[in-house]
Amino acid sequence: MKDNLKEIFLNELKNNKDTPKQEIIKLAEEYGIDFKPREAKSKIIDKLVVAGEFDTIFNKFEKFGYIPTWTIADFYGVNTERIDQLHKIGAIKEIPVKREYYSRSSKSYYTVNTYPVSVLEYSREELEEAYNQTYGQEGFKFRIETNSKDEVEILINELRKLFKIEKTPQIYERRNEGYNTYFTVKLLNNSEFEQNKFLSEIESLKNKNKETEEYYRDVLSGIYKKFNVDSRMDLMRVSREYLELKEKSKKNSRGAGRKPRFTEEEKNII
């Protein structure tokens, strides 16, 4: 394996929270590697590599060093979505495995496909040719960015009224939030009138999409203001607190309306 691929694999292996540290420690002890009691997993891995045990690490922990699509895309100089498209058409043979990553910006987890490091051994020309043979048909290629899948459906259905949508639109969840949708549209004929009509429809849809996004943004802003929060995470926290208080209130009110065990006269006697 080339050195640059080894480096990419090791980087993923070290950063993967699921890489079993105890197994790494056990391997280091087996090969007589010295390390401190609380030494970081990444440093122990580095010591094993320096000791010439990369192949041992790779064979034992390969599945923990799978590469996310954005790293593969950067390596080949293409967009992230193309990697999964190349897999779907069989140009990339490796079988992907889904893995969760944490987004600091949205403070939530999202799922992406990861592939074995061997996915980086194809030639760029080979992948480019395979992609063009499948997706290189004539037409207008689009990428739509939306906040929800419902918005994608609305836009696609509007386009279908006037134009032919080639293949099934590919929808991908963005790393933080929202969706990117890729699709190709063909004119019903090549007349200048149809092209102008098509461009006019595009502009109309852009405006409609913008209006929808502004509407939802205003609604969300109003909700944030009402509950005095700045983000969806804060809103979810307030919602949880409300439900907890509601549940406590139910517990405290149990038995309300029942006949008292003692009358006021009996209480005074007691």
CA within 13 Å, CB half, 43:
7
One domain for residues 52 and 92? no
More confident residue, 11 or 142: 11
- Reported as a single tens digit per residue, the pLDDT across 35-77 is 888 889 999 999 999 999 999 999 999 999 999 999 999 999 8
Final residue of a domain: which of 108, 136, 164? 136
In a domain, 262, yes or no: no
Task: Report d(CA 188, CA 201) in Å as an integer.
Answer: 14
Q: Which of 218, 234, 142, 232 is nearest to 184 (CA)?
A: 142
Asked if 52 and 117 sit in the same domain, the reply is no
Does some domain include residue 216?
yes
Residue 214 lies in a domain: yes
Give me the pLDDT at residue 153, please. Answer: 82
| Alpha carbon distance 25, 31 (integer Å) | 10
In the predicted structure, residue 268 carries a pLDDT above the cut 50: no
Task: Please give the pLDDT value at position 149.
Answer: 78
- Mean local confidence (pLDDT), 246-265: 61
By residue range, what is the domain housing residue 15?
Answer: 3-65
Domain assignment present for 263? no
Q: What confidence tens digit (pLDDT) does each residue in 139-154 have?
A: 677 778 888 878 888 8
Looking at the predicted structure, is the pLDDT value of residue 92 above 50? yes
170 and 227 part of one domain? yes
Same-domain pairing of 142 and 201? yes
Q: For residue 110, count other CB atoms closer than 10 A to its CB.
A: 14
pTM here is: 0.51
Separation of alpha carbons 208 and 52, rounded Å:
60
pLDDT band at 137 (very low <50, low <70, confident <90, very high): low
pLDDT attached to residue 167: 65
Helix and strand numbers (H, E) in the chain are 11, 6
Question: Which of residues 255 and 100 earns the better pLDDT score?
Answer: 100
Three-class SS of residue 237?
helix
Do 144 and 175 have their domain in common? yes
**pLDDT band at residue 270, thresholds of 50, 70 and 90?**
very low
The DSSP bridge partners found for residue 108 are 103
For residue 8, give both structure tokens.
């990419």
Kindly report, residue by residue over 182-222, the tens digit of the pLDDT.
Answer: 877 765 555 455 555 666 667 777 777 777 777 777 888 88
Residue 53, phi then psi, degrees to nearest 5: -105, 30
Evaluate whether residue 258 is within a structural domain. no
Read out DSSP for 45-77? HHHHHHTT-HHHHHHHHGGGGPEEHHHHHHHHT
Q: How many separate domains does the chain show?
A: 3
pLDDT at 102: 79
Which of 65, 86, 113 marks a domain boundary? 65
In tens, the pLDDT along 200-209 reads 667 777 777 7
